[in-house]
Amino acid sequence: MATWAPLRSISLTPGPTRSGRLNSRKVIACSRDSSDVPVPDFLSSNWLESRKKRPFGPRLDFSAEEAVQCQLDALKYNDQPCQDYGIEVMYRFAGFDPFERSSYFGPHFDLGQFERFRRIFHHSTYRVLLSHKERKILSSLWVKENRFKQRVWVRGSRPEEEEVFQFTMVQRVGGSWDGYWLTESLLHDGDGFSGGVAY
């Protein structure tokens, strides 16, 4: 149990009032020994190191190709270091407004909540990307200086599971994401959505 030290007076410098005049000095009471108050230790021993590490996501020095590769790598090791971490990385790279319906997966969906975004990746059409075994870049196209498309063939972890996907990357101009490559869309490049997209 903490013991309390006797109070001592300190004075504060005067501040202006609404009329512009200065108040007289105020005197408040405080403890003589402020170190007597126990401070709980909420921080882990590696707090400083963890503050220096940023969550993996878009970087200013990534090219469009590197941004696509980083996302595919994250999906390949989707559940490392935690479950659906790869999908979290994809969500950080996603260049849609969370307050508007998005055509990120083709049809217009409300993807503002991560859980809705995650659910689509676990649908049969997109789940081939999760923990995939092999991938191959089929084609790359610079549509404009700040727009890049890449088609990727992916072989999944289940037997005879393979699909083709198209990434559309856009380099933002202006705002807090100026110069970053973000994913405008990730489309299944097949014969449409067989059975629709779980939403």
- Residue 69 · residue 148 · CB < 8 Å: no
- Domain coordinates of the chain in residue numbers? 7-36, 62-188
> Can you give the pLDDT at residue 189?
86
> Can you give the pLDDT at residue 8?
61
**b/e 172-195 (16+ beta carbons within 10 angstroms → b):** eeeeeeeebbbbbbbbbeeeebee
> Can you give the pLDDT at residue 193?
45
State which residues of the chain have pLDDT below 70. 1-55, 191-199
> Can you give the pLDDT at residue 199?
40
Is the four-CA dihedral 111, 116, 121, 126 of positive or negative sign? negative
> Can you give the pLDDT at residue 155?
94
| The architecture CATH gives domain 62-188 | Roll (3.10)
DSSP one-letter code for 58: -
> Can you give the pLDDT at residue 123?
83
Kindly state the helix (H) or strand (E) to which residue 115 belongs, with its residue range. helix 114-121
> Can you give the pLDDT at residue 56?
80
Whether this model's pTM surpasses 0.85? no
- Residue 170 · residue 103 · CB < 8 Å: no
